[in-house]
Amino acid sequence: MKSKPVLSLVEQSCGTFIVPAELVNELLTSEEISKGESRLIVKTAGSWQVPVSAFGLVVSFDYEASKKALGQPLFVYGKRTLTNWKQCGYEAEGKVSINGKKRRAFTSSKLFRLPDNSLLSGQVLHLGNE
């Protein structure tokens, strides 16, 4: 059974995703909007500051549908915590709980277009394929 996303964002040209005005404050803080970037909140442990978890926006993308046409949606599941952190080169992987089920996710970034046409670079937790 597939997990239900909170919402889907429509892709524009150039790979940007439009965030509806009514959801901007729900998904992003005013500080993130003013800086033009959204970062993951990473929790570390020990004197070496080893990453153990990350908190941020969880998204997924239907790659098979994207081969057929442009304008495919980016599914947003809200803000969640990535646990079981494993560093894999330039990205990290772990597990995210979606509807009570642990799913594999990895760190990534997406470009979002806000209602005022400004761009926001966002670090996200991207769900792997089911």
pTM across the whole model: 0.84
Q: Per residue in 14-36, pLDDT tens?
A: 678 888 888 888 888 889 999 99
Q: Please tell me the distance from the alpha carbon of residue 110 to that of residue 123, in angstroms, as a whole number.
A: 7
Give the tens place of pLDDT for each residue, 55-95.
999 998 876 666 565 667 788 899 999 999 999 888 999 99
Let me know: does 82 contact 71? Beta carbons within 8 Å.
no
b/e per residue 35-55 (b: at least 16 CB within 10 A): eeebebebeeeeeeeebebbe
| CB neighbourhood size of 17 (10 A) | 20
| CA 88 – CA 8 distance, rounded (Å) | 28
3-state secondary structure of 29: coil
